[in-house]
């Protein structure tokens, strides 16, 4: 007689561990440019604040557009070829791109800044596949009463990657070495993945030729499905406003607040991710406690909004250390990232689930391009603080509306397909 697995055996099974470590490497590499943005561009010959801000924004946008396109590519492949094909393919792509980023100082045969842009674009394509495929796999292999906690473990462990990236840069003293280490971590993870098995729910439909799998356009051919898809994206907007605007440009906000000492965006990002990591661990348990994904996300979003208002308008941030502390507060509030990706996975059938779970977070990441354009548009006339506030108001308005009106998925059976 086969013995039932215990809760701990489910939560610390190989798919959960490998998904968590995969997301760890993903976040390390995803946030590394934000951490070394100023340092790396200065070493490549850029000298003025305006030049570093402008080129840095362009490279962030290249990386985010890569994430957007990669999200569609890997999402479709995840439903057509299986969850594991994405976990292998994506990690090879971003590991090689990060190793190449570490070699940029030695690339005397090309324009180094131009190479940097395109390598971050390729890295973005690779990084897009990791979280969605991992969350989809974990959601499908765990019992439904443990899904929220399991995906929170994946994200909570994974998000520590940004903290490790910051310390790696500080300890190595060289941004290029930090990229090489990230690429090496990816290769090591690839070897660990060999023992992971495919989702049973996916296997059940894999050979069924009558089921259309991984059709990205299916989200746009049915009104109800389209509305659900757009709301899934809307839920995530406040998370990347806090990271992509407030912490990435924390040096600009610090200056506008009258902080005379130097604000390091890398440290702001690190402390935000300390908060996000704790928040993601908590979000699964909060959802479990409320028996609701929506209530957990709405409560955390409200907490983040209070933090944003304090950040922008309190006048109480007088030092870099205080700014880093508030960045941690913002991270804690927006630590519903795994929960929001899980909601995206749970809304749709098995034949579209990986496409949804992979494209939704990368659509959100892709909106950072729009956020930075709006921020740069309003900044000359309105100033840094008000420009940030306008973008934040739009993101939180959409976020709350989407969260409160999307169907609840707590405890939902995932063994169904989209017709």
**Structural domain boundaries enclosing 322:** 12-194+221-405
Distance between CA 360 and CA 147 in Å, rounded? 18
Element (H, E) at 236: helix 223-241
Q: Are 213 and 79 in contact (CB under 8 A)?
A: yes
Q: Which of helix, strand or coil describes residue 152?
A: helix
Mean pLDDT over each residue of the chain, to the nearest integer: 84
Predicted pLDDT of residue 120 = 94
In-domain check, residue 6:
no
In-domain check, residue 392:
yes
Predicted pLDDT of residue 220 = 87
Predicted pLDDT of residue 241 = 95
In-domain check, residue 99:
yes
In-domain check, residue 273:
yes
Output the six-digit token pair for 159: 């998000």
Hunting for tokens 């309190």 — which residue is that? 314
Band (199; pLDDT cuts 50, 70, 90)? very low
Check pLDDT > 50 for residue 91: yes
In-domain check, residue 292:
yes
- Residues 332-370 have pLDDT tens digits of 999 888 788 888 888 887 777 778 877 888 888 888 889
Element (H, E) at 237: helix 223-241
Band (194; pLDDT cuts 50, 70, 90)? low
Predicted pLDDT of residue 201 = 47
User: Residue 99: which CATH number?
Assistant: 1.20.1250.20
Q: Are 74 and 133 in contact (CB under 8 A)?
A: yes
Query: How many other CB atoms are found less than 10 A from the CB of residue 196?
Result: 19
- Give helix 337-347 / helix 293-313 axis angle, nearest 10°: 140
Q: Are 16 and 78 in contact (CB under 8 A)?
A: no
- Give me the number of domains the chain comprises: 1
Say what percent of the chain tops pLDDT 90: 32
Q: What pTM was estimated for this model as a whole?
A: 0.77
Q: Are 49 and 22 in contact (CB under 8 A)?
A: no
Check pLDDT > 90 for residue 321: yes
In-domain check, residue 247:
yes
- Residues 132-191 have pLDDT tens digits of 777 777 777 788 777 778 877 887 788 788 888 888 888 888 899 999 998 998 888 877
Closest by CA position to 244, among listed 331, 159, 131? 331
Q: What would the DSSP string read from start to end of 76-130?
A: HHHHHH-HHHHHHHHHHHHHHHHHHHHTGGG-TTS-HHHHHHHHHHHHHHHHTTH
Band (307; pLDDT cuts 50, 70, 90)? very high
In-domain check, residue 216:
no
Distance of CA 236 to the CA centre of its chain: 9
Distance of CA 320 to the CA centre of its chain: 25
Query: CA 110 → CA 18, 61, 115, 236, distances in Å?
Result: 37, 21, 7, 37
In-domain check, residue 5:
no
Output the six-digit token pair for 405: 């009106």
Hunting for tokens 């959960």 — which residue is that? 16
Q: Are 296 and 280 in contact (CB under 8 A)?
A: no
Distance between CA 4 and CA 349 in Å, rounded? 27
- Give helix 49-81 / helix 14-43 axis angle, nearest 10°: 160
């Amino acid at each position: 007689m086969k013995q039932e697995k215990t809760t701990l055996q489910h939560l610390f099974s190989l798919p959960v561990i490998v998904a968590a470590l995969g997301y760890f490497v993903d976040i390390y590499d995803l946030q590394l440019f934000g951490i070394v943005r100023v340092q790396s561009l200065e070493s490549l010959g850029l000298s003025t604040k305006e030049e570093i801000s402008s080129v840095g924004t362009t490279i962030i946008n290249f990386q985010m557009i890569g994430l957007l396109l990669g999200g569609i590519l890997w999402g479709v492949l995840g439903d057509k070829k299986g969850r594991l094909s994405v976990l292998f393919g994506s990690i090879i792509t971003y590991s090689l791109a990060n190793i190449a980023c570490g070699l940029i100082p030695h690339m005397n045969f090309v324009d180094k800044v131009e190479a940097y842009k395109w390598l971050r674009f390729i890295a973005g394509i690779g990084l897009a596949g990791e979280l969605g495929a991992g969350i989809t796999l974990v959601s499908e292999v765990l019992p439904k009463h443990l899904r929220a906690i399991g995906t929170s473990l994946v994200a909570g462990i994974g998000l520590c990657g940004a903290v490790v990236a910051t310390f790696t840069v500080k300890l190595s003293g060289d941004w290029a070495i930090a990229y090489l280490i990230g690429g090496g971590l990816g290769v090591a993870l690839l070897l660990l993945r060999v023992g992971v098995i495919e989702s049973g729910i996916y296997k059940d439909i894999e050979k069924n030729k009558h089921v259309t799998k991984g059709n990205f356009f299916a989200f746009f051919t049915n009104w109800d499905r389209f509305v659900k898809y757009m709301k899934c994206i809307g839920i995530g907007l406040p998370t990347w406003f806090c990271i992509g605007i407030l912490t990435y440009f924390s040096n600009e906000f610090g200056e506008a607040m009258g902080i005379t000492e130097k604000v390091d965006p890398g440290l702001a990002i690190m402390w935000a991710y300390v908060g996000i990591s704790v928040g993601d661990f908590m979000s699964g348990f909060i959802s479990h406690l409320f028996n609701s994904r929506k209530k957990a996300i709405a409560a955390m979003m409200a907490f983040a909004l209070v933090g944003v208002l304090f950040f922008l308008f309190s006048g109480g941030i007088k030092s870099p250390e205080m700014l880093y502390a508030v960045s941690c507060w913002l991270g804690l509030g927006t630590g519903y990232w795994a929960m929001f990706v899980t909601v995206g996975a749970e809304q749709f059938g098995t034949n579209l689930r990986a496409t949804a779970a992979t494209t939704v977070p990368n659509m959100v990441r892709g909106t950072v391009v729009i956020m930075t354009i709006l921020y740069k548009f309003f900044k000359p006339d309105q100033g840094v603080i008000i420009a940030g506030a306008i973008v934040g108001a739009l993101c939180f308005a959409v976020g709350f509306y989407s969260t409160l009106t999307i169907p609840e998925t707590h405890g939902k059976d995932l063994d169904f397909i989209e017709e």
